Amino acid sequence: MVSRMSQTIELKYATRSVPRYTSYPTAPHFGDGVDGATLATWLAALPDDRPLSIYLHVPYCRAICHYCGCHTKAALRDDPVIDYAQGLVQEIGLVAAAIGRRLPVGHIHWGGGTPSLLPVDSFRAVVAKLNESFDILPTAEHAMELDPRTVTKTLAAALAEAGITRASLGVQDFDATVQKAIGRIQPIETVTAAVEALRGAGIAAINFDLMYGLPHQSAETIRNTVALAHGFGPSRIALFGYAHVPWFKKHQRLIDEAALPGAGERIALERTARSILAEYGYEAIGLDHFALPDDEMAVAAKNGDLHRNFQGYTTDACDTLIGIGTSSIGQSHGGFAQNDPDIGRWRKAVEAGRLPVSKGKALDDDDRLRAAIIERVMCDYAVDLDAVCAAHGVTVDAVADAFERLAEPIADGLATLEGHRLTVTELGRPLVRIVASAFDVYLARAAARHSVAV
Ligand X SMILES: C[S@@+](CC[C@H](N)C(=O)[O-])C[C@H]1O[C@@H](n2cnc3c(N)ncnc32)[C@H](O)[C@@H]1O
Residues that bind ligand SF4 (CB under 6 A): 61, 64-65, 68, 70, 72, 112-114, 147, 170
Sorted by sequence, the CB contacts under 8 Å of residue 347 that are 6+ apart come out as 83, 84, 87, 326
Q: How far is the CB of 77 from ligand X (least distance, A)?
A: 18
Binds 212, which of ligand X, ligand SF4, none (CB < 5 to 8 A, cut-off by type)? none
Q: Which residue in 137, 118, 139, 147 sits closest to 56, CA to CA?
A: 118
If one asks whether residue 145 binds ligand X (CB under 6 A), the answer comes out as yes
Minimum distance between the CB of residue 454 and ligand SF4, rounded to whole angstroms? 36
Radius of gyration over alpha carbons of the chain, in Å?
Answer: 22
Partner residues linked to 422 by β-bridges: 383, 417
**Interface with ligand X, residue 170, by CB under 6 A:** yes
Partner that binds at residue 64, options ligand X, ligand SF4, none, CB closer than 5 to 8 Å by kind: ligand SF4
Residue numbers 197-236 binding ligand X by CB under 6 A:
209, 211
| 243 is a contact residue toward ligand X (CB under 6 A) | yes
Paired sense of beta strands 205-212 and 135-146, if any? unpaired
Q: Which is nearer to ligand X, 68 or 435 (CB)?
A: 68
Q: Which does 209 bind (CB under 5 to 8 A by kind): ligand X, ligand SF4, none?
A: ligand X
The C-alpha atoms of residue 57 and residue 68 are separated, in whole angstroms, by 16
Q: 317 contacts which partner out of ligand X, ligand SF4, none, CB within 5 to 8 A by kind?
A: none
Q: Which of 156, 298, 272 is nearest to 210 (CA)?
A: 272
Q: Give whichever of 29 and 236 is closer to ligand SF4, judged by the CB atom.
A: 236
Which residues 6+ apart lie within 8 Å of 161 measured at CB? none
Q: 172 or 332, CB closer to ligand X?
A: 172
Determine the longest span between alpha carbons in the chain, in angstroms: 61
The option from ligand SF4, ligand X, none interacting with 358 (CB < 5 to 8 A, set by class) reads none
Q: Least Å distance between CB 112 and ligand SF4?
A: 5
Of positions 22, 69, 163, 228, contacts ligand X by CB under 6 A:
69
Q: Least distance to ligand SF4 from the beta carbon of 323, Å? A: 17
Are residues 42 and 362 in contact, defined by beta-carbon separation less than 8 angstroms? no
Q: How far is the CB of 269 from ligand X (least distance, A)?
A: 13
Rounded distance between C-alpha atoms, residue 445 and residue 454, angstroms: 15
Nearer to ligand X, 68 or 99 (CB): 68
**Under the criterion CB under 6 A, does residue 311 sit at the interface with ligand X?**
no
In whole angstroms, the minimum distance from the beta carbon of 30 to ligand SF4 comes to 22
| Residues with Cβ within 8 Å of residue 289, at least 6 apart in sequence | 236, 237, 238, 239, 297, 312, 313
Alpha carbons 364 and 334: distance in angstroms, whole number? 8
The answer to whether 446 contacts ligand X (rule: CB under 6 A) is no
Closest C-alpha to 73, from 255, 326, 312: 326
Helix (H/G/I), strand (E/B), else coil: 339 = strand
With respect to ligand X, which residue has the nearer C-beta, 244 or 429?
A: 244
User: Mapping DSSP to helix (H, G, I), strand (E, B) and coil, where does residue 227 land?
Assistant: helix
> Least distance from C-beta 197 to ligand SF4, angstroms?
18
- Give the residues lining the site for ligand X (CB under 6 A): 61, 67-70, 111-114, 145, 147, 170, 172, 209, 211, 240, 242-243
